[in-house]
Amino acid sequence: MQQRIPPGFIQELLARADIVEVVGQHVQLKKSGSNYKGLCPFHGEKTPSFTVSASKQFYHCFGCGAHGTAIGFLMEYAGLGFVDAVKDLAARYGLTVPQADLDPQQQRQLQRSRSLQATLLDVLRTADDFYQHRLRHSDKAKNYLIARGVQGQVAKRFGLGYAPDDWQALAGAFANYNADALVQAGLVIARDAQGEPIEPQAESFAAAQRRYDRLRDRITFPIRNLRGEVIGFGGRVIGQGEPKYLNSPETEVFHKGEELYGLFEARGAIARAGYALVVEGYLDVVALAQFGIEQVVATLGTACTAQQLQKLFRHTGQVIFSFDGDDAGRRAARRAMENALALLTDTRVVKFLFLPPEHDPDSYIRERGVDAFEREIARAQPLSEFLFASLFDGIALGSAEGRAQAIHQAAALLAQIHAPALRGQLLTDLARRLDMPLADLREVLHAASPRQAPVERHTPSGAPPGLAPDAPRRGARAPLRAFAAPTDALRQALPLLLAHPALWWDISPAQHALLAQESGALQPLVHTVEAVLEDQPDCSAAALWEALRAAGHAPEQVLAQSPDPLEIEPEVARHDLLALLLRLERHSVLRRQDALVAAGLVSDADRAEYRSLAARLREIDLAQRASGAA
What is the reported pLDDT for 99?
A: 66
Name the residue with higher pLDDT: 483 or 33: 33
pLDDT at 484: 40
Distance of CA 536 to the CA centre of its chain: 27
Give CA–CA dist 545/262, Å, rounded.
Answer: 30
- Beta strands 318-324 and 296-298: pairing type? unpaired
Q: Bigger pLDDT: 31 or 108?
A: 31
Write the burial class of residue 138 (CB in 10 Å: 0-12 exposed, 13-18 middle, 19+ buried): buried
Q: Strand order in 230-237's β-sheet?
A: 161-163, 218-224, 230-237, 245-247
SS3 of 387-398: the string is HHHHHHCCCCCC
Region of 228 (left: φ > 0; alpha: ψ -120 to 50; beta: rest) is left
Contacts of 467 (CB under 8 A, 6+ apart): 601, 607, 610, 611
Handedness of CA 10, 16, 18, 23 (dihedral sign): negative
Q: What pLDDT, on the 0 to 100 scale, is given for residue 4?
A: 66
Encode pLDDT of 529-579 as tens digits. Answer: 888 887 787 788 888 888 887 777 877 666 655 555 556 677 777 888 888
Radius of gyration of the chain (CA): 29
For residues 335 and 309, give the distance between their C-alpha atoms in angstroms, rounded to a whole number. 12
Backbone angles phi, psi at 514, to 5 degrees: -60, -45
- The size of the chain, in residues, is 630
H/E run at residue 514: helix 509-517
The secondary structure of 241-283 as a DSSP string is: -SSSEEE----SS--TTT--BTHHHHHHHHHHHTSEEEES-HH
Q: Identify residue 596 by its one-letter amino acid code.
A: L
Q: Is the pLDDT of residue 450 over 70?
A: no
Distance of CA 601 to the CA centre of its chain: 47
Contact 233, 248 (CB under 8 A): yes
- The strand pairing partners of 161, in sequence order, are 220
Rounded alpha-carbon distances, angstroms, from residue 290 to 154, 156, 294, 532: 6, 12, 8, 50
What tens digit of pLDDT does each residue of 468-481 get? 434 433 333 333 33
**Residue 34 pLDDT > 90:** no
Nearest to 391 by CA among 436, 434, 328, 447: 434
State the pLDDT confidence band at 181, using cuts at 50, 70 and 90.
Answer: very high
The predicted pLDDT at position 121 comes to 95
pLDDT-derived band at 449 (thresholds 50, 70, 90) equals low
pLDDT cut 70: percent of the chain above it: 89
Specify which residues 230 forms β-bridges with. 224
Percent of the chain's residues with pLDDT above 90: 31
Mean pLDDT of 608-612: 83
Ranking 63-77, 184-198, 481-495, 509-523 by mean pLDDT, the lowest is 481-495
Q: How confident is the model at residue 627 (pLDDT cuts 50, 70, 90)?
A: low
pLDDT at 196 over 80: yes
> Measured between alpha carbons, how far apart are the two ends of the chain, in Å?
51
pLDDT at 474: 34
In the predicted model, is pLDDT for residue 154 greater than 70?
Answer: yes
Mode of pairing for the β-strands spanning 188-191 and 197-198: antiparallel
How many Cα atoms occupy the beta-carbon half-sphere of 269 within 13 Å? 16
Q: Is the dihedral of CA 374, 379, 382, 386 positive or negative?
A: negative
- Per-residue pLDDT for 54 more than 80? yes
What is the identity of the amino acid at 49? S
pLDDT for position 164: 97
Q: Spell out the SS3 assignment of 462-506.
A: CCCCCCCCCCCCCCCECCCCCCCCCCCHHHHHHHHHHHCHHHHHH
For residue range 338-349, list pLDDT tens digits in order: 989 988 877 789
Name which of 389, 323, 328, 392 is nearest 361 in CA terms.
Answer: 323
Looking at residue 544, what is its pLDDT? 85
Segment 386-400 shows an average pLDDT of 88
pLDDT value, residue 563 = 55
Q: How confident is the model at residue 3 (pLDDT cuts 50, 70, 90)?
A: low
pLDDT at 15: 84
Q: Comparing 411 with 489, which gets the higher pLDDT?
A: 411
Q: How many CB atoms lie within 10 A of CB 164?
A: 22
CA atoms within 13 A on the CB side of 425: 12
Adjacency order of strands within the sheet including 381-382 = 296-298, 276-279, 318-324, 349-355, 381-382
Predicted confidence band at 451 (pLDDT cuts at 50, 70, 90)? very low
Question: Between residues 465 and 116, which one has the greater pLDDT?
Answer: 116
Strand order from edge to edge, sheet including 67-68: 30-32, 35-38, 50-53, 58-61, 67-68
Give 184's contacts (C-beta < 8 A, 6+ positions apart).
116, 119, 120, 200, 201, 251, 252
Cα–Cα distance, 114 to 119 (Å, whole number): 9
How many whole angstroms from its chain centre is CA 107? Answer: 31
Task: Please tell me the predicted confidence (pLDDT) of residue 550.
Answer: 77
Highest mean pLDDT among 12-26, 127-141, 353-367, 481-495: 127-141
Provide the pLDDT confidence category of residue 370 given band limits of 50, 70 and 90.
very high
Does residue 570 sit in helix, strand or coil? helix
Residues with Cβ within 8 Å of residue 592, at least 6 apart in sequence = 609, 613
- What are the phi and psi torsion angles at 132 (to 5°)? -65, -40
